[in-house]
Structure 1
Amino acid sequence: MEEITRRTISSYFFFFLFLAGKTTGKFSHDNVTALFIFGDSFLDAGNNNYINTTTLDQANFPPYGQTFFGSPTGRFSDGRLISDFIAEYANLPLIPPFLEPRNSQKKLYGVNFASAGAGALVETFQGSVISLRTQLDHYKKVEKLWRRNFGKEESKKRISRAVYLISIGTNDYSSHFLTNQSLSISMSQHVDIVIGNLTTFLHEIYKIGGRKFGFLNVPDLGCFPALRILNSKNDSCLRDASRLAKMHNKALSNLLFKMHRQVKGFKFSLFDMNKSLRLRMQHPSKFGFKEGEEACCGIGKWRGVFSCGGKRIVKKYKLCENPNDYIFWDSLHLTQNTYNQFAKLIWNGGHLSDSLVVGPYNVNKLFQIP
Structure 2
Amino acid sequence: MKMTKEYRIKLNLANSCIRLCLVVVLVVLASLTIPSDCFRHDDHYPKTIAALFVFGDSLIDPGNNNYINTSTRFQANFPPYGESFFKYPSGRFCDGRVITDFIAEYAKLPFIPPYLQIGYQYQLAYGANFASAGAGALVETYPGSVVDLKTQLWHFNEAEKLLRSNIDRRGAERIVSNSVYLFSIGANDYSSYSRNSNIFKSFTPEDYVAMVVGNITAALEVIYKKGGRKFGVVNMPPLGCVPASRAADLAAGGTGECNGQMTALAKLHNVLLSKKLEHLQKQLKGFRYSYFDFFAVFVDLLDNPSKYGFKEVKSACCGSGPFRGANSCGGRWGIKDYELCGNPQDYSFFDSGHPTQAANQQFAELIWAGPSNVTGPYNLKSLFQLSL
Same fold, TM-score > 0.5, yes or no? yes
C-alpha contact 1:120 1:194 (8 A) present in aligned 2: yes
- Deviation at 1:175? 2.0
Question: Are 2:357 and 1:339 aligned?
Answer: no
Q: Residues 104, 185 of structure 1: CA spacing in aligned structure 2 closer, same or farther, 3 A cutoff?
A: closer
- Deviation at 1:108? 2.3
What's 1:119 paired with? 136
Residue by residue, what CA displacement relative to the aligned partner does 1:210-254 show, whole Å, maximum 9, x if unpaired?
Answer: 110011111101111112222223222111110000000111111
CA distance in 1, matches of 2:375, 2:36: 39
CA distance in 1, matches of 2:59, 2:288: 22
Question: Are 2:202 and 1:192 aligned?
Answer: no
Q: Secondary structure of 2:248's partner?
A: coil
What's 1:241 paired with? 262
What's 2:276 paired with? 255
When Rg is computed on C-alpha atoms for both structures, the one with the higher figure is 2
What's 1:131 paired with? 148
Count of aligned residue pairs for this structure pair: 347
CA distance in 2, matches of 1:82, 1:22: 38
Q: 2:35 aligns with which of 14, 18, 25?
A: 25
Q: Secondary structure of 1:327's partner?
A: strand
CA distance in 2, matches of 1:23, 1:356: 47
CA distance in 2, matches of 1:89, 1:269: 16
Computed over aligned residues only, the root mean square deviation of the Cα atoms, in angstroms, reads 1.7
Residue by residue, what CA displacement relative to the aligned partner does 1:111-143 show, whole Å, maximum 9, x if unpaired?
Answer: 100000101100011111000000000000010
CA distance in 1, matches of 2:196, 2:132: 19
* 5+ long unaligned stretches in structure 1: 1-19
Taking structure 1 as the reference length, what is the TM-score of the superposition? 0.90
Question: Are 2:149 and 1:149 aligned?
Answer: no
- Deviation at 1:184? 1.6
Residue by residue, what CA displacement relative to the aligned partner does 1:173-231 show, whole Å, maximum 9, x if unpaired?
Answer: 01233567662210000001111111221111111111100111111011111122222
CA distance in 2, matches of 1:219, 1:39: 14
Residue by residue, what CA displacement relative to the aligned partner does 1:301-325 show, whole Å, maximum 9, x if unpaired?
Answer: 0000010000112221100011000
What's 1:64 paired with? 81
Identity %: 50
CA distance in 2, matches of 1:294, 1:152: 51
Q: In structure 1, what residue type is equivalent to 2:124?
A: K
* 5+ long unaligned stretches in structure 2: 1-29
What's 2:22 paired with? none
Q: Residues 240, 22 of structure 1: CA spacing in aligned structure 2 closer, same or farther, 3 A cutoff?
A: farther
Q: 1:171 aligns with which of 169, 185, 188?
A: 188
CA distance in 1, matches of 2:135, 2:309: 31
- Deviation at 1:156? 1.1
What's 1:8 paired with? none
CA distance in 2, matches of 1:26, 1:266: 32
CA distance in 2, matches of 1:316, 1:107: 41
C-alpha contact 1:178 1:227 (8 A) present in aligned 2: no
C-alpha contact 1:283 1:292 (8 A) present in aligned 2: no
C-alpha contact 2:125 2:163 (8 A) present in aligned 1: no
C-alpha contact 1:291 1:327 (8 A) present in aligned 2: yes
CA distance in 1, matches of 2:84, 2:139: 33
What's 1:4 paired with? none
What's 1:227 paired with? 245
Q: Residues 109, 23 of structure 1: CA spacing in aligned structure 2 closer, same or farther, 3 A cutoff?
A: farther
- Deviation at 1:32? 2.1
C-alpha contact 2:115 2:121 (8 A) present in aligned 1: no
- Deviation at 1:105? 4.8
Q: 2:91 aligns with which of 71, 74, 80?
A: 74
Q: 2:311 aligns with which of 284, 290, 296?
A: 290
Q: Residues 39, 183 of structure 1: CA spacing in aligned structure 2 closer, same or farther, 3 A cutoff?
A: same
C-alpha contact 1:66 1:78 (8 A) present in aligned 2: yes
- Deviation at 1:358? 2.5
Q: Residues 178, 337 of structure 1: CA spacing in aligned structure 2 closer, same or farther, 3 A cutoff?
A: farther
Q: In structure 2, what residue type is equivalent to 1:76?
A: F
Q: In structure 1, what residue type is equivalent to 2:145?
A: S
C-alpha contact 2:314 2:323 (8 A) present in aligned 1: yes
CA distance in 2, matches of 1:180, 1:186: 12
- Deviation at 1:275? 1.3
Q: In structure 1, what residue type is equivalent to 2:230?
A: K
CA distance in 2, matches of 1:127, 1:318: 31
Taking structure 2 as the reference length, what is the TM-score of the superposition? 0.86
C-alpha contact 1:303 1:331 (8 A) present in aligned 2: yes
CA distance in 1, matches of 2:36, 2:91: 31
